[in-house]
Amino acid sequence: MILLPLLALVQLAAPIQPQASTQSLQRQLNADGARAEQRVRILEILAFREGDLSYQAISPLRKIVRGDLLIDYTRCLGRCGPEGLPELYKLAKKSHPVIRAEAVYGIILNDQAKGERFARGVLRSVKEPSEAKVAALRALADRGSILARVEAVRRLATAHGGLLLEALDTLARDPQLEDVRYLIDVVATRSGRPRTAAVDLLQQITNYRIGEDARTWRYFMLKHKVEGTDFHREEVEQERQTETLSYLGIPILGEQVVFVLDASGSMNAPLAERSRQSRGARAVDELAALLPRLPHTGSFDIVFFESRVDRFSSGKLVPCAEAQVASATSWLDDRIFDGGTNLHGGLEEAFSRPDVEEIIVLTDGMPSAGEVQDPSRILAWVKRWNRFRKIRVSSIALSAPHSASSFLYELAKGNHGAFRAIR
């Protein structure tokens, strides 16, 4: 009679296997002998996946989750079907914006009777955080509601940040000619990533390659209207080559940017293809040359991470004005490369900037310092932070081993970003 509990203890004494099946992980959640830290780790893995979960397996964890781990619990609860709705409605009242957003998303998907009405209430409330509104719009689209496009178009004129990007992504699921005039307004009045996304959609709908000139878009829209023809051409023009601001080959699409650079001791090593220049010197020199070219309407910050985390600003983005750029350049000249690689800490610092649109990460190796060093767990943390913020995270592997390049590729791929490996 005691063999099964003993077997469970033997199984749970070994490290949790992230590649284990969802069914296997759910069985381990409440197995005899499972410790709280093991259950939390399993919850973290399950939250990073997609697909349905068992309410009976997930709900007992509410007694042990606290703080940010409640984000994972709420996300998993939202995948448990209608059984989780009573608790989701309670969690939707939490002050934490991401917990609230996960609860909102789960309610709208699972409450077939009241979900759409609930979503519209969230989207029209002035008290709801941006994350909750992003979750509401995404959930409407994911459940196939006809209200998704209606609400998305309304947001084009009034929304900002992640909600505006979510509205554009909603329209991108099924682009229509009727969207053109609204998208041209976005090109005319917005900047950074929203303008780029609107241009991409216009080009996809019309086959014109006009770029960011709203006046020209309006001219051709009126021309087709007068001629009584659809604003669409069958032949596709050759793509025009336009200069895009970039850092070490990574295009910069946003105007509120944080650069997150590795300051560990290994950055003193020479580059493979430029033996007279160290990795750290290359990263600093390229950034110092880029800063004066950033758009004057934008803002930026710089985060250096080794075992500790250092930052240029006092914790917020600074304007791309001449004085701030000069101060940042001087600050870069004083950087010293030493210590380990606290990548989690560097990313956490970057995500703490409320207005950031884009994060560019550069490192030469795997995480080796800080609170979280497991690459799979760092990916899970970034997903927590970014699921309803839509920040573009790009990554650069600078003379990094294959394992680090693979990890950085996954980081960029999962967060709307670009990846580049430099030897």
Q: Same domain for 125 and 261?
A: no
pLDDT band at 108 (very low <50, low <70, confident <90, very high): very high
Q: List pLDDT tens digits, range 227-270.
A: 999 999 886 555 555 568 999 999 999 999 999 999 999 999 99
Q: Same domain for 150 and 181?
A: no
Per the structure, the count of domains in the chain is: 3
For residue 211, the tally of other CB atoms under 10 A from its CB is 14
Q: Same domain for 310 and 360?
A: yes
Q: Which of 175, 192, 214 is the last residue of a domain?
A: 175
Q: Same domain for 43 and 66?
A: yes
At 8 the pLDDT is 39
Q: In angstroms, rounded to a whole number, what is the distance separating the alpha carbons of residues 305 and 311?
A: 8
Q: Same domain for 189 and 279?
A: no
Task: State yes or no: pLDDT of 82 exceeds 90.
Answer: yes
Q: List pLDDT tens digits, range 169-199.
A: 999 999 999 999 999 999 999 999 999 999 9
Beta bridge partners of 302: 259
Q: In angstroms, rounded to a whole number, what is the distance separating the alpha carbons of residues 200 and 194?
A: 10
Q: List pLDDT tens digits, range 20-56.
A: 899 999 998 888 778 888 998 899 999 988 999 999 9
Q: Same domain for 323 and 399?
A: yes
Q: What is the mean pLDDT of residues 349-359?
A: 96
Q: In angstroms, rounded to a whole number, what is the distance separating the alpha carbons of residues 55 and 366?
A: 36
For residue 21, the tally of other CB atoms under 10 A from its CB is 9
Q: Same domain for 259 and 353?
A: yes
- Global confidence as pTM: 0.91
Q: Same domain for 171 and 280?
A: no
**Which amino acid is it at 231?**
F
Task: State yes or no: pLDDT of 11 exceeds 80.
Answer: no
Domain carrying residue 200: 176-241
CATH code at position 416 = 3.40.50.410
Q: Which of 209, 241, 273 is the last residue of a domain?
A: 241
